[in-house]
Amino acid sequence: MQVSTVLEVSVRPSIPEDADLAMDYIDENSSLYTTMTTDVIKKVDRSIIPIVSCLMSVKMMEKSITSYGSILGLREDLRMTQETYTWVSSIFYFGYLIFEFPISLIIQKALSKSLSTSVLVWGVLLLCHASCQTSNGFLTCRFFIGMFESAMSPAYTLITSQWWKREEQFTRCSMWFGFQGFGTILQAGVAYVLLIHDSQLALASWRLLYIMTGILTMIFGFLSAFYIPENPLKAHFFNAIEKMDFIQRLRSNHQGVGNKTFKQSQLFEAFTDTVSYIMFAHGIFYSIGSSSFSNFGSMILMNDFGYSSKASILLGMVGGALDISLPTIVAYMNEKLFTGKKLIICSLASTITLIGMIVFKYANDRILRLFGYFSFYVSTIVISGVISNIASNVAGHTKKIIVSALFHMGTAVGSIIGPQFFKNNDYEQAKTALLITSIIGTFDILMLITIYTYRNSEREKLRISYGPKYIAPEFIELFDLTDMENPEFRYLL
């Protein structure tokens, strides 16, 4: 359905057969159709945020495990050269890249089942890492774990768009994304304990680290199968009236709660929308930096700053604390003080990261360079804003799935490229790459703001041109229209 069809003044459009799932629920339960009478958001926050935050924590534990594993003797035990070690991260993302698009289509059909299954298998694969005796076996495990971890971030994006109003999504997205810092702190603490007791352990400390992380991941994968519903209409914690109230609450999103029909028109629009390619590019350039810090952070602190192995692990906790606090504080301020300005806040945060990368590369004073190093964690604000942007500013269920997949495929490409800048121990190439990617990342955010501002302006002009003849069909927000098709849709900046 195109904009011209929706705005037809002589005929009110009928409800499409492939409308949102919420439309079917309203038809089947019309007797319950009322204005909102229950505060359903509290139930959603209590039920969804804790389990997603825990899953995000174990995901970050996996992200940092190779960095801490290298300190605990992984490279020596598996006889890895510096060049081989750079592929530990990159090969993970080859698996991630290959499986990202197929798993995104599966998520559209069965979100909860595909997520929980992926996390369980991912936990088993972490246990397999602990049994590896050669670098080739280890790299093989990394490839397969990348395949199954590819389900997580797209699923979280979809969950965010299904359960919260658009103006709430940045805060919630930042809460679960920022909670990766807890995983960083926990993993650093475990690694530190294993390091100081290394000589007393019967099994190599890095192997124990993989075993503990794998078991914890499997536990949360099992719990997610029970606590994350397929969609809000199947929520075990809602009664029938609360489900209807929930639909009413989310109507302002113009996105509904889900649609299992794959629509070729939305696929075509996703690949012809400039925003899709900006998101893809941002995924690449952000992940060049994030993969560098997650896999080589401890080595940078040891080799470039001169800290001991113990000190570098403890400093990793500082990064984790920044990951937890910064996104949550900024997102809360955005919701309470600067509603609808998340991309503007992201542009400011991206500028801070850019300044930090300049200091990291060019400053001579170690304290100043350390400030520059930790400034990269400000980019967590940016990435949580970008992911919530997909949730809130990309409408049409199929289109959202595709754009999300493109973004995360971009992160895979960036994560393949990033470690290749660390083949030399002086890290000068890596510092230059981090600076360049920060510049491009900031430009990407400014491009999004410009495009969305222009589109909003054009839609207001269109509405004015129709005058009193303007007709917005009832329940248009549940027609599963894309952001480009729906004339009522306005982009949040």
**Mean pLDDT score, 483-489:** 86
In angstroms, the CA 126 to CA 233 distance is 34
Indicate whether 485 belongs to any domain.
no
In angstroms, the CA 196 to CA 188 distance is 12
Indicate whether 146 belongs to any domain.
yes
Q: Which one has a higher pLDDT value, 25 or 262?
A: 262
- The residue range of the domain holding 297 is 40-251+266-469
Q: Worst-scoring range by mean pLDDT, 76-80, 93-97, 421-425, 472-476?
A: 472-476
Q: Which residue has the tokens 């696929």?
A: 267
Count how many Cα atoms sit within 13 Å of the Cα of residue 338 in the half-sphere of its side chain: 15
Residue 20 reports pLDDT greater than 80: no
pLDDT the model gives residue 289: 83
Residue 150 reports pLDDT greater than 60: yes
Indicate whether 236 belongs to any domain.
yes
Residue 419: closest CA among 2, 200, 100, 139: 139
**Please, which pLDDT band fits residue 29 given cuts at 50, 70 and 90?**
low
Other C-beta atoms within 10 Å of 203: how many? 9
Indicate whether 8 belongs to any domain.
no
Indicate whether 198 belongs to any domain.
yes
**Please, which pLDDT band fits residue 38 given cuts at 50, 70 and 90?**
low
Q: What is the pLDDT of residues 437-479, one digit of tens each?
A: 999 999 999 999 999 999 999 988 888 887 776 666 666 767 7
pLDDT the model gives residue 419: 79
Write the CB contacts of 473 (distance below 8 Å, at least 6 apart in sequence): 6, 12, 13, 479
Q: What is the pLDDT of residues 266-311, one digit of tens each?
A: 999 999 999 999 999 999 998 888 877 777 777 788 888 888 888 8
pLDDT the model gives residue 13: 46
Indicate whether 94 belongs to any domain.
yes
Residue 66 reports pLDDT greater than 90: no
Q: At what angle do helices 166-178 and 379-393 cross, to 10 degrees?
A: 140
- Domain count for the chain: 1
Q: What is the pLDDT of residues 189-219, one digit of tens each?
A: 898 899 888 888 888 999 999 999 999 999 9
Q: Which one has a higher pLDDT value, 16 or 460?
A: 460
The values of phi and psi at residue 66, to 5°, are -70, -35
Indicate whether 211 belongs to any domain.
yes
Q: Which one has a higher pLDDT value, 272 or 182?
A: 272
Instruction: Give the whole-number percent of the chain exceeding pLDDT 70.
Output: 89
pTM for this model (two decimals): 0.85
In angstroms, the CA 181 to CA 144 distance is 25
Indicate whether 487 belongs to any domain.
no
CA distances from 112 to 34, 154, 175, 179, 401 (A): 29, 12, 20, 20, 15
CATH value at residue 399:
1.20.1250.20
**Mean pLDDT score, 109-129:** 92
Report whether 378 contacts 346 (CB < 8 A). no
